[in-house]
Amino acid sequence: MREMMTTTTIDQSVRKGRWQYRVQWLFWGALVIGLYVWAGKGLQFSGVQASAADVSKSILHGILNPDWRYVYNGSGEDLTSEIIQTIAIAFLGTFISAFISIPFAFWAARTEKGKWHLRSTSGKFVLTLIRTFPEIVLAIMFIKSVGPGSYAGVLAVGVHSIGMLGKLFSEGIEEMDRGPEEALVSVGGNRTEVLCLATLPTLLPEFISYTLYRFEISVRSASILGMIGAGGIGTPLIFAIQTRSWSRVGIILIGIVVMVMGIDWLSGQLRKKLA
């Protein structure tokens, strides 16, 4: 009798569990389907222009027959010099902002216990603010103050990088090994000595690695900032798209792909060596 009761209760609870499981699935499924119906209804796909097929055909034709003469023609406005300019924008912006990010990182790092700390919380807030400010808006603001060209691009990439590098650096500081610092304090090192001989050397490989990673991202941003007038490969690209010279677009796309993949590979190799 007793045994039977236990089996029925187990059976009931299993059945109840299965039922709950099904309801849960139904709920989530209905929610997801509802979201998609809502999203699909809200978008207007009717705005597609009639020439879309022709345009994509000519784009494909242009990309398959790139304008190789544009690669280098000595005018200083060819693909090679634009690519070099793009890399220069990303390089300068990223590495300068890496130096500027270090004080920001120490500001934002939570080195003491406790969830809320005035210095660290305010630092984190400032970094979030910089990070969420769209890079394009930043570029436009700099174009308004220093004029169109690569200089505005450098400033936009640089300021935007501080937001991300500062965050990554501060997390590096929070998780660093405190051993070397304690060792220096125990032999009587003062604050400057601890910073120069223990803290910075411990953090340096990680900081360089993050900077290289950000450099990869910056190369991508630098190649699109030109579309709004901030120098680099984006400027000739947007002109080529607007004038519908697709073979020019093709060679620029190839150039960007080669540049981005080359930089990613180089930076990956360097980061592997540091790790």
Answer for which of 1, 4, 5, 52 binds other proteins (CB under 8 A) is 52
The answer to whether 93 and 225 have CB atoms below 8 angstroms apart is no
> In angstroms, rounded to a whole number, what is the distance separating the alpha carbons of residues 219 and 89?
8
Answer for which of 14, 30, 64, 84 binds other proteins (CB under 8 A) is 84
Rg (CA), the chain: 27
CB of 249 to other proteins, least distance (A): 8
Q: What are the residues whose beta carbons fall under 8 Å from the beta carbon of 198, sequence distance 6 or more?
A: 180, 181, 183, 184, 189
**Residues 229-268, mask of contacts with other proteins (x by CB under 8 A):** --x--x--xx--x--x----x---x--xx--xx--x----
> In angstroms, rounded to a whole number, what is the distance separating the alpha carbons of residues 25 and 115?
37
CB of 244 to other proteins, least distance (A): 7
Residue at 14: amino acid letter: V
Backbone angles phi, psi at 169, to 5 degrees: -60, -45
**Residues 193-222, mask of contacts with other proteins (x by CB under 8 A):** ---------------------------xx-
**Residues 9-38, mask of contacts with other proteins (x by CB under 8 A):** --------------------------xx-x
Q: Is the dihedral of CA 57, 58, 63, 64 positive or negative?
A: positive
- Copy the structure tokens of residue 94: 């990223």
Residue entry with tokens 């500062």: 166
Residue at 137: amino acid letter: V
Does residue number 223 form part of the binding site for other proteins (CB under 8 A)? yes
Does residue number 48 form part of the binding site for other proteins (CB under 8 A)? yes
Q: Is the CB of 82 or the CB of 173 nearer to other proteins? A: 82
Q: Is the CB of 91 or the CB of 185 nearer to other proteins? A: 91
Does residue number 153 form part of the binding site for other proteins (CB under 8 A)? yes
Half-sphere exposure of 93 (CA within 13 A, CB side): 37
Answer for which of 56, 65, 111, 269 binds other proteins (CB under 8 A) is 56
Answer for which of 59, 100, 185, 194 binds other proteins (CB under 8 A) is 59
Helices (H), the chain: 2-42, 52-64, 79-108, 118-132, 135-146, 150-174, 179-186, 191-194, 200-225, 234-242, 246-274
Where does this chain bind other proteins (CB under 8 A)? Answer: 35-36, 38-40, 42-45, 47-49, 52, 55-56, 59, 84-85, 87-89, 91-92, 95-96, 132-137, 140-142, 144-146, 149-151, 153-155, 220-221, 223-224, 227-228, 231, 234, 237-238, 241, 244, 249, 253, 256-257, 260-261, 264
